[in-house]
Amino acid sequence: MQDLLEWVPLLLGGLVQTVLLFATVLILGSSLAIVIGLARLSRFRSARYLASVYVEFFRGISLYVTLFWLYFAFPFIGMRLTVWEASVIGCALTHAAYSSEYIRSAVLSIPGSQHEAAVALGMNTFQRIRYVVLPQALVALLPLMGNEFVMLLKGTSIVSLIGLAELTEQAHSIIVSTYQPVPVLVVVLCIYFAGAQLIIRVMGLMEIRFGRWKRRTVASPVR
């Protein structure tokens, strides 16, 4: 046990790397997902086609393969990435592909009658988005994105395959040094479980908050 306690700073360092990777991918991937998701709904055929190709490509290959291409194969074509850059880009591209479909489905879940009623009330495009589309789409989107964020957190462990010193990689280093896999893996399991539960709780609170906002904004008359 004393040997394991000496490796606590290593685990904490790995946890910091995991949190930084998760936050960075969450911001970049979600931003890209919004663009791709809206492009899938565009009235321009070329935009819909390009967005569809992107989504089907990155949903059709594993993150494992994407990371290996970015870190090991790209240097042979003159594009050398650091392990951090490859990890962020690979995870963000994959996260965006899945999240964009959630965004698209959330927007499509709004009945056409809602749009027609908004037009009948004389709302302009901004008002329709603000008072009709956004409140309802957010409520439909949050449960889906909550699951995706949990999957993203757990998916960050895959980057250990290319050598990023995140939580899983550091745990592997400790196991190799101490030959005590059970206590180390129990700690790692608890950390990931706690992180997933935190995300679930936060998203649950957001669902309640935006559910109230939806009822308030949809019910309120537009002036």
Summarised one tens digit per residue, pLDDT across range 53-108 is: 999 999 999 999 999 999 999 999 889 999 999 999 999 999 999 999 999 988 88
Residue 6 DSSP label: H
Q: Which CATH number fits domain 2-219: 3.40.50.1980, 3.30.750.24, 3.30.1330.40, 1.10.3720.10?
A: 1.10.3720.10
Q: State the pTM of this model.
A: 0.86
In this predicted structure, the answer to whether residue 43 has a pLDDT above a threshold of 90 is: no
Per-residue pLDDT at 223 exceeds 60 = no
